[in-house]
Amino acid sequence: MLRTGGAAGVYLADCLEDRLDRVADEITALGGAPRRIAADLAEVAECGWEVREAYEDAGRLDVVISNAAAWSEEPFLARSPSSRSRTHRGGG
């Protein structure tokens, strides 16, 4: 939907290379050119740099989708370590 809806760039982050490749291949088949970012988002130390990398590469981010089972209402890059930990444990 993002690619066919006119998204200029798509960045994918996942710790599983095969899943990252599978989704990237699907987007490529639709005419997109996704960028892959290998990161384990269950580790607090891994959170944030991948969004910064995508931002620095693209110059802006219009939409960021987190497929986590929990959430926070804080701005993603400003989240505290305790908030990130709570999100990763599934405690929203």
Mean pLDDT computed over 55-84: 76
Question: CA triplet 64, 88, 1: central angle to 5 degrees?
Answer: 30
- pTM score > 0.75 for this model? no
CA distance 29 to 21: 12
pLDDT class of 92 with cuts at 50, 70, 90: very low
Are 4 and 30 in contact by the 8 Å Cβ rule? The answer is: yes
Are 88 and 42 in contact by the 8 Å Cβ rule? The answer is: yes
